[in-house]
């Protein structure tokens, strides 16, 4: 899960420069902690340019989450395939994410915690994001009557591992706990 797309941002159109900059700052430092002034300074645009593309900060927040959703899902699906494409791929995939130096938890869970009570859009986007994440997990499971139920349960456990890895010194305990749950699930009828 790379946080930084290593293309020269200065060559990109203003709108994308703003979005990429906002992404990094919102994810690394938090949404309320990041002012518009900082974003326009680091994106190298002016205020008028910014407000022509994003009528308000709330609009930018929503577009940031939509963008994050696209980017994270693409990485997630690709990483799961790279690691085998079945349930065994889940732990190495998450390990890859957690061990990245830019890891700061789930942007959507962080967003809900920070803004859930004031910006309902964030809750809506998060629901749909987690639905897609659960779908990707479901695709790792063999067809069965319990497939959806299992995918839901794994998805919840994954969220637990994500937040745990966010505050623990190392992601080891989070991954080990998730492994334990997955192993029980594998052995279950």
| Residues within the interface to a second copy (CB under 8 A) | 28-30, 32-33, 104-105, 108-110, 112-118, 123, 126-127, 130, 149-150, 152-153, 155-161, 163-164, 166-169, 173-174, 176-178, 180-181, 184-185, 187-188
Q: Which one, 46 or 131, has the nearer CB to DNA? A: 46
CB closer to DNA out of 47 and 127: 47
* Tokens encoding 184: 């029980």
Q: Which of residues 143-182 bind DNA (CB under 7 A)?
A: none
Q: What angle do CA 91, 107, 160 make, to 5 degrees?
A: 45
Q: Give, in degrees to the nearest 5, the angle at Cα 155 between 20 and 65.
A: 20
Shortest distance (Å) from residue 22 CB to a second copy: 16
Rounded CA separation 150/146 (Å): 6
Q: How far is the CB of 156 from a second copy (least distance, A)?
A: 4
CB of 152 to DNA, least distance (A): 36
- Identity of the residue, 82 or 186, whose beta carbon is nearer to a second copy in the bound complex: 186
What gap in Å lies between CA 74 and CA 93, rounded to an integer? 13
d(CA 10, CA 29): 22
Q: How far is the CB of 16 from DNA (least distance, A)?
A: 8
Query: How far is the C-alpha of 187 from the C-alpha of 29, rounded, in Å?
Result: 41
Distances in Å between the Cα of 163 and the Cα atoms of 1, 42, 86, 156, 166 are: 16, 29, 23, 11, 5
Site for DNA in 12-71 (CB under 7 A): 13-15, 34-38, 44-49, 51-53, 55-58
Binding stretches for DNA (CB under 7 A): 13-15, 34-38, 44-49, 51-53, 55-58
């Amino acid at each position: 899960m790379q946080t930084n797309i290593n293309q020269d941002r200065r060559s990109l159109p203003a709108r994308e420069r703003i979005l990429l900059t906002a992404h990094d700052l919102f994810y690394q430092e938090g949404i309320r902690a990041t002012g518009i002034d900082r974003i326009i300074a680091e994106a190298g645009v002016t205020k008028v340019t910014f407000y022509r593309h994003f009528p308000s900060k709330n609009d930018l927040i929503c577009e940031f989450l939509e963008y994050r959703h696209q980017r994270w899902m693409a990485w997630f699906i690709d990483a799961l395939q790279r690691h085998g494409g079945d349930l065994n791929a889940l732990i190495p995939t998450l390990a890859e994410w957690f061990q990245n130096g830019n890891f700061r938890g789930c942007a959507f869970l962080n967003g809900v915690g920070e803004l859930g009570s004031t910006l309902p859009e964030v809750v809506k986007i998060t629901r749909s994001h987690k639905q897609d994440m659960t779908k990707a997990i479901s695709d790792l499971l063999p067809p069965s009557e319990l497939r959806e139920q299992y995918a839901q349960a794994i998805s919840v456990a994954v969220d637990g591992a994500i937040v745990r890895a966010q505050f623990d010194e190392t992601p080891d305990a989070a991954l080990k706990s998730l492994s334990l749950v997955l192993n029980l699930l594998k052995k279950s009828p």
